[in-house]
Amino acid sequence: MKLFEMSRERDVGGEQSDGGHSGTGKVLEGVVFSDGTTVVRWAVANQSNSTAVWDSYEAFAHFHVDKRPENGTRIQWIHEDSSN
């Protein structure tokens, strides 16, 4: 499994449907399991965190990273457990 964090330099997307912003800096933590399933947990200050499950890392990245290159989104890989 692989652990990662996502951060953003900008939040061009603006307000979300719940009235909040994902903001800048570290905005979520995630894990990619050995079968590719990706689970992310939003870590946005002053908001209730939510958890989402994606079929693959690529599906997650397409939606949250690739669609808004203007946000300056970065993925930092924290750890890879090669025993799985």
Report DSSP letters for 23-41, one per residue. Answer: -SEEEEEEEE-TTS-EEEE
Q: Whole-prediction pTM value? A: 0.75
pLDDT band at 68 (very low <50, low <70, confident <90, very high): confident
Q: Which of 18, 27, 32, 60 is nearest to 45 (CA)?
A: 27
Which pLDDT does position 52 carry in this prediction?
93
| Percentages (nearest 5) of helix, strand, coil residues in the chain | 15, 35, 50
Which amino acid, residue 18? D
How is residue 59 annotated by DSSP? Answer: H
Which pLDDT does position 23 carry in this prediction?
73
What mean pLDDT is predicted for residues 33-43?
94
pLDDT band at 58 (very low <50, low <70, confident <90, very high): very high
